[in-house]
A and B are shown apart, each in its own frame.
Chain A
Amino acid sequence: MQKVGIVEVAQSAGTESPLSLMEFTYKPVKEVLDKVGMKRDEVDMYILASTDVFHSGMSCANAFDWDASGAFMKPASREEGDAITSFVYGCMPIMEGKCDTVLVVGLIKGSENAENDTLTSFVADPFYSRPVGIQETTAAAMQMRLYLQRYGITEEQCAKVVVKNLSNALFNPYAHIKKRVSVDDVLNSERICDPLKALECAPKSEGVCAMLLASEEKAKKLTDKPVWFKGWGSSMDTFYLGDRDLLDTQLKTAAASAYKMAGISNPRKEIDIAETCEPYAFQELLWCEELGFCAQGQGGKLIDSGVTQITGELPVNPSGGVLAMNPYVARGLYRVAEAVLQIKGKAGEHQLDKKVNTALAHSTYGFCGQWQGVVILGS
């Protein structure tokens, strides 16, 4: 199996852009190609992540996406779940030795369509979930209540995730939400879906992330600091929420398989930084437990301890995470991009003040973390 190096990344910022989807997508793709001095037709394969109707309002993925990413007249494929899988699909042909370079692009313009809750209500089946108002936020609120109740996690501890992530985002030029908030601000924000407060829910963002992957030999030619793909795991849970224990997601399975592939036995000690997908604040705490950063039910104590702060031993979401930047579908690739930049030492103002050897990127989609995926990168 061949090594896969991540050569270069480019991201767009999350605030509403006046550009059309066509030119908005073109810019980061062009930026990556220019950085490495490649032409679009020199890339061996393209893997995209985007969404057709619900989160884009166009079923024009086959027109706009391919032209704007430079992928036409090339081997190309598209993922509609989460862009973190496009990243892995991009690694595969390089591992097999079939390709030398793959360009991965995740794209969305969140400002152009209805609220996430409107759109995710269509994720619910029309037979017995949609009629009772199930969508991503109402489902997450029920998961949160269970979490508070079962483990005695406090609302203050959940609010601390927002304070931490939005404070980190102030130093990330690609983050969408830029504001400093206090625990009280979070607790006093509108109880839109009790126990969830408005400030505990991710925004809806724009975002194009482009990333060039290459074989070992090629990566070393294209950049002086390639980042290496080390491990991957994913798992999908059953669809019907009623059949699941909402506090026992498939993240444990996904993480175990990623850790095994990367040769990690003690994630808490061996991982230097983690980027998680936490569209709802409490989920970061739950995901940290399932990723093995602390024991089950100890997510509240973990945030209290300061370990996950940007200055802590294991910073979680130094980019500001999904609470600060939520480009649906593309958001998983943003997690990988942040992990890459931290290892390269090119994260800028929010670069960690330590040597970063091993980074974890996580993403999830579906209600209450139905699908979970974990990527491990190394220096």
Chain B
Amino acid sequence: MAEQKEKPRKVASMGMVPYEMALGPTWTRFFEGFKEKRILGTKCNKCGRVLVPARPFCPRCFEPMEEWVEVAQEGTIVTWSYVNYTYFGVTPDMIPVIGATIKLDGVDCGTGMWTQIGGFDIKDFELVTKKVKVGARVKAVWRRKRQGNFRDIDYWKIIE
């Protein structure tokens, strides 16, 4: 067989498939709260934990969570990362992003809510390392126009 010098032949394929996923009553109520700039959690009557985002049932106790509580919009950074690279689906205009997990005051989740930090020039990495720290205090900043989804919180602002 002759030595193959050309690039091996390939078939290009691209799929676009739409999905529509039900939010269910618990997350619907949670995101309706976002429209009114409120962060709602659910409380477990067995272990007493307050969880955010709200849950239909306590994952540990496996009992329904029917009690709703409004929680604080301030909290503490548990950990964070500085996302500064592109890949298919993420273009240069979408970066950098500071991902962080935030333990909201009065909420019992381990590492807290996963979200993004902003409100200053986050392209300046030196500045980022000065301001964004594990244990730093943060506050939710809402979008003016809210649609009842997770991006209604524009970003979390560092409280100096």
Residues of A that sit less than 8 Å from B by CB: 18, 53, 57, 112, 114-115, 117-118, 121, 126-129, 131-134, 138, 141-146, 149, 190-196, 198, 238, 240-246
CA distance A133 to B83 in the complex (A): 9
Q: Given B51, B52, B84, which contacts A191 in the complex, CB threshold below 8 Å?
A: B84
Given A128-B150, A133-B116, A193-B84, residue A242 in contact with residue B59 (CB < 8 A): no
Counting from the closest, the 7 A-B pairs by CB-CB distance are: A141-B81, A18-B8, A194-B82, A192-B85, A115-B87, A131-B150, A146-B79
CA distance A63 to B140 in the complex (A): 50
**Contact, CB under 8 Å: B81 / A243:** no
**Contact, CB under 8 Å: A242 / B110:** yes
Given A191-B82, A196-B81, residue A246 in contact with residue B111 (CB < 8 A): yes
User: Taking the nearest CB of chain B, how far is it from the CB of A193, in angstroms?
Assistant: 5
Please name the residue on chain B nearest to A17 by beta carbon: B8
Q: Given B59, B87, B113, B125, which contacts A238 in the complex, CB threshold below 8 Å?
A: B59
**Contact, CB under 8 Å: A118 / B88:** yes
CA distance A134 to B99 in the complex (A): 8
A-B contacts, 25 of them at CB < 8 A, read A112-B10, A117-B90, A118-B87, A126-B21, A128-B53, A128-B150, A131-B149, A131-B151, A132-B116, A133-B83, A142-B80, A142-B81, A142-B101, A144-B81, A145-B81, A145-B134, A146-B78, A146-B111, A146-B134, A149-B134, A194-B125, A241-B111, A242-B112, A243-B59, A246-B110
Q: Does B159 contact A (CB under 8 A)?
A: no
**Contact, CB under 8 Å: A241 / B114:** yes
Please name the residue on chain A nearest to B27 by beta carbon: A127
Please name the residue on chain B nearest to A129 by beta carbon: B114
Other A-B pairs, 19, CB within 8 Å; known A128-B114, A149-B134, A190-B85: A18-B4, A57-B15, A114-B89, A126-B19, A128-B113, A131-B149, A132-B114, A132-B115, A132-B150, A138-B83, A141-B82, A144-B81, A145-B81, A191-B82, A198-B85, A238-B60, A242-B111, A242-B112, A242-B114
